[in-house]
Amino acid sequence: MAGLTLSNVTKSFGDFDAVKDVSIDVEDGEFLAVLGPSGCGKTTLLRLVAGFDRVSAGQISIGGKIVSDADSSMAPEKRRVGIVFQNYALWPHMTVAENVGYSLKVAKVDKVEARRKVDEALALVDLTGLADRRPANLSGGQRQRVALARCLVAAPSLVLFDEPLANLDVHLRAAMEDEFAAFHKRSGTTIVYITHDQAEAMALADRIAVMDKGRLAQLASPRELYNEPANTMVASFIAQGIVLPAQVLAAEKDGKTEVEVLGQKVSVRCRPGEAPRMGANICLRAPDLEIADEKEPGILGTVLRAVYKGGAMRIDFAPDADPEQKISFEHSGHAEFGEGQKLRLQIVSGWLIPETEQNS
């Protein structure tokens, strides 16, 4: 297996940059998810790594060897990059083993050697007993694993997954997430996994590269993305975070500072070295908000909409201090809420979003 390095990679179509100045280091054996909304450049990035497109600027290396820069591009088949697509096609008239071993047959690999490689690939995806079945007699998840084995048989240096679960139903997706995680543990394969599904990325990846309009918005562990988003895009994109304007009142001390938000003073977590500033933003996750008693301090406002979601209520709330600043959150208590009801919200914690170009 091999690591992957993208250094200041840009891909332009005319004067539009689909990928802009992206630098990512994927370690040998790491599982990296590339996550972002539609059109953020995920597929373009994958095509550059696979070698289907050439970079406009920057450099891509696999296993320390440069495979793409502005002047040269190694052919896809020489990169030894395996790809598992969303729409995998298996040959219906061939058995599982024949499907997996087809590329070896075409390459005229010795039959005994080919069989050994096929068996190895099937073992890696946990399909050892099904070598003689035909695709029609497999479940959707098993078929997806055959597609994965077919890519592994060529001993790729890294494997790219392009939204491999997008066409599967919810239950199968969850089962396949477990399968992919187990496969990664078993094989130690370097994986780059493209998805727009953050639950999938969170469940599987060691680190997640969040893309926004062609740029890398943040590269961090799932926990860090959730707890310490680097900018407003990541804060609101991950777990539908609530972003509120705030003023920083004090210098950072022990990883915390005091901010004023909607007329309330609140202590929030922050990066080291934060100092008082205007025009800041904080990010709140569901556990950071509580509904306060009338006598307690808090942000007074009105319920605009309350929808029961089974075990929780989704509440849209307009603070009296700034009704335009709608706050949408889930409340998991038993209390019922209705449109027009007055509420007092208390912010018990939060994260001060660092000052970046993207937020200004």
Ligand X SMILES: Nc1ncnc2c1ncn2[C@@H]1O[C@H](COP(=O)(O)OP(=O)(O)OP(=O)(O)O)[C@@H](O)[C@H]1O
- Binding segment for ligand X (CB under 6 A), chosen from 39-47, 66-74, 276-284, 306-314, is 39-47
**252 touches 272 (CB < 8 A):** yes
State in angstroms the smallest separation of the CB of 319 from ligand X: 34
State in angstroms the smallest separation of the CB of 249 from ligand X: 39
Residue 91: exposed, middle, or buried by beta-carbon count in 10 A (0-12, 13-18, 19+)? Answer: exposed
- Binding segment for ligand X (CB under 6 A), chosen from 22-30, 35-43, 63-71, 106-114, is 35-43
Collapsing DSSP states into helix, strand and coil, what is residue 221? coil
State in angstroms the smallest separation of the CB of 39 from ligand X: 4
Q: How many CA atoms lie within 13 A of 212 on its CB side?
A: 15
Segments in 83-187 forming alpha helices (H)? 96-106, 111-124, 140-152, 170-187
| Total of residues contacting ligand X (CB under 6 A) | 11
Residue type, 354: P
Tell whether residue 41 is a contact of ligand X (CB under 6 A): yes
Report the residue from 23, 39, 128, 253 that binds ligand X according to the rule CB under 6 A.
39
Q: Which 8-state DSSP code applies to residue 357?
A: G
Query: Of 67-126, which residues contact ligand X (CB under 6 A)?
Result: none
- Binding segment for ligand X (CB under 6 A), chosen from 42-50, 150-158, 175-183, 223-231, is 42-50
State in angstroms the smallest separation of the CB of 192 from ligand X: 13
Please name every residue paired with 280 in a beta bridge, in sequence order, or none if there are none: 246
Residue type, 71: D
State in angstroms the smallest separation of the CB of 211 from ligand X: 7
H/E segment holding residue 43: helix 42-50
State in angstroms the smallest separation of the CB of 19 from ligand X: 7
Report the residue from 115, 196, 326, 344 that binds ligand X according to the rule CB under 6 A.
196
**253 touches 267 (CB < 8 A):** no
Residue type, 271: R
Collapsing DSSP states into helix, strand and coil, what is residue 74? coil
Tell whether residue 52 is a contact of ligand X (CB under 6 A): no
Closer of 16 and 77 to ligand X (Cβ):
16
Query: Of 7-26, which residues contact ligand X (CB under 6 A)?
Result: 13, 18
Binding positions for ligand X, rule: CB under 6 A: 13, 18, 36, 38-44, 196
